[in-house]
Amino acid sequence: MTHISPQRHPRTLTTLLLTTFILLLQACSSGGGGPAPTYTVGGSVTGLGNTPVVLQNNNGAETLSISTNTTYTFTTALTQGTAYNITVLTQPTGYSCSVSNSTGTVGQQNITTIAVTCTALPTYTIGGTVTGLGSNPVILQNNSSEQLSISANGSYQFLTAQLEGSSYSVTVHTQPSGYSCSVSSNTGTVVQENITTISVNCGVTATGYYTGSADVKADNNTTNLNIPDLRAMVNGNRLMLMSLDQQLLYDGTITITGSNYSGSVTLYKSGARISTTPIAVSGTITAGSNIAGTLAGSGAGNGTFDVLYNTSVNAQAASLARVVSTVERSYWGGAFYLPYSFGNTNLFKVVDGGNLEHVDEPNNGYFSGCRFEGNSILPVVNSSLYQFDITFSSCDEIARQSNYTGLVTNLSVTTAPTDGDLLLVGFSNGESAGFSEFVYREY
């Protein structure tokens, strides 16, 4: 039997080829031919300083830190048709950067035209003037960081300029030997101009205890009055002069510039204020030697004085151990504003921590009936003085009830107080004053 092979029809073959081509096209359109091409996004940076700018694409989808003026490219490449939006995420310190050609859609080539242009922000200097400085330098600091040593009076300026909106705080880091400097107008915020108003005033260090005399006028303002028992205590700008014999206390503040000073004091007699207005006082100070001055008021507020630095008292540094009452029924006692009399007195004791304990109220005198409340006596660093703060209550004269501040010095106490040791105490509140030698007694 003879087998006859079938013949393929030409139309059938054409159909088969067409079907295969269509399938290949579908495979290509569905990705079967490999990944779509991608393109990078970048540009250039100019004007950058020494801190980096941080860029971001599409609100943080990718970030890029740039530290130098150069061309840049984001790491992630994007496919055709993807949108991009380049912005500054973090500005470099002291600079402001802007972006141009920052948005668009990726085509069929890399994006290289996104320009980042940086410009320096304006800065302003911090400084002022120094007066009263001696031969040793003062060291200032700004914001507890940058320091500046100044050796001469005149204008000064910190080296590091500050951006607008920056805060500044200028303080004394190291005082010059033998002098004390204070700073005024020393804090603020930089606002579009250099700061030139920070004043540093220096003067000789006067803190301590002094003894001497004064020549003033009597109450009639014509008769001369000599005061041979004048005492003085100075703590920074606080000046107290007192005479127990004359029952006088001069209390006020002074500004020391170099070796000169000026200020004002209030005059009290027997505890009561007798000067209707502050009395101008001025003069010279020789560190570790003396204070000389002129009082420009009337009566006892009119004249001159000279007090010498008391080396024996000032050689003994103040400490609570020297005034704390450690013996049972041991007290400091004295009669305010009167020559010492141990009959009618104010009694108090100093306990640990510098607190004062009231023992009994004074039964006569200017502060009759007054009791101590909320009181403290604390050593002044690097001196023989103590800061004294008391509040009087329950006084027979209601007007005496008030808060008072003052100074204390050890007249004879070298270690711990013993029977017969002395303190010199003075305080005031602008209207009333107390001052006396207080003696230590053990009962």
pLDDT band at 14 (very low <50, low <70, confident <90, very high): low
* pLDDT at residue 434 tops 70: yes
Please tell me whether residues 404 and 323 are part of one structural domain.
Answer: yes
Please tell me whether residues 335 and 382 are part of one structural domain.
Answer: yes
Please tell me whether residues 356 and 307 are part of one structural domain.
Answer: no
Helix (H) / strand (E) element for 56: namely: strand 53-57
- What's the chain's average pLDDT? 89
Please tell me whether residues 245 and 263 are part of one structural domain.
Answer: yes
Domain count, the chain: 4
What's the CA gap between 163 and 211, in Å, rounded? Answer: 52
Please tell me whether residues 100 and 148 are part of one structural domain.
Answer: no
Q: Where are the beta strands (DSSP E) in 218-259?
A: 224-235, 238-243, 248-257
| 5 domain-assigned | no
| 358 domain-assigned | yes
CATH code for position 181: 2.60.40.10
| 339 domain-assigned | yes
* pLDDT at residue 25 tops 50: no
Structure tokens at 115: 């320009």
Helix (H) / strand (E) element for 35: namely: none
Please tell me whether residues 323 and 435 are part of one structural domain.
Answer: yes
Mean pLDDT to the nearest integer, 172-199: 95
Q: Mind listing the pLDDT tens digit for each residue in 96-105?
A: 999 999 999 9
pLDDT at 310: 97
Please tell me whether residues 277 and 179 are part of one structural domain.
Answer: no
What's the CA gap between 358 and 333, in Å, rounded? Answer: 11
| 333 domain-assigned | yes
Please tell me whether residues 347 and 231 are part of one structural domain.
Answer: no
Of 204, 221, 256, the position where a domain reaches its end is 204
| 21 domain-assigned | no
Please tell me whether residues 190 and 267 are part of one structural domain.
Answer: no
Please tell me whether residues 224 and 179 are part of one structural domain.
Answer: no
Dihedrals phi, psi of 368, to nearest 5 degrees: -60, 130
Q: What percent of the chain has pLDDT over 70?
A: 89
- Residue 266 near residue 277 (C-beta atoms within 8 A): no
Closest CA to 425 of 348, 364, 353: 348
Please tell me whether residues 268 and 161 are part of one structural domain.
Answer: no
> Which of 16-20, 35-39, 253-257, 400-404: highest mean pLDDT?
253-257
pLDDT band at 18 (very low <50, low <70, confident <90, very high): low
| 424 domain-assigned | yes
Please tell me whether residues 433 and 330 are part of one structural domain.
Answer: yes
pLDDT at 255: 95
Of 69, 95, 120, the position where a domain reaches its end is 120
Q: Mind listing the pLDDT tens digit for each residue in 267-280?
A: 999 889 999 999 99
* pLDDT at residue 31 tops 80: no
Query: Higher pLDDT residue, 367 or 190?
Result: 190
SS3 10: helix
Q: CB-based burial of residue 83 (10 Å sphere; 0-12 exposed, 13-18 middle, 19+ buried)? A: exposed
Structure tokens at 112: 């290289």
| 351 domain-assigned | yes
- Residue 99 near residue 55 (C-beta atoms within 8 A): yes
Q: What angle do CA 339, 334, 386 make, to 5 degrees?
A: 105
Alpha helices in 205-340 (DSSP H): 311-314
* pLDDT at residue 20 tops 50: yes
| 32 domain-assigned | no
CATH code for position 240: 2.40.128
CATH code for position 42: 2.60.40
Of 97, 120, 143, the position where a domain reaches its end is 120
Q: Mind listing the pLDDT tens digit for each residue in 332-381?
A: 887 665 444 444 467 788 888 898 887 776 666 778 788 877 789 999 99
* pLDDT at residue 207 tops 90: yes
pLDDT at 347: 77
Q: Domain of 294?
A: 208-313
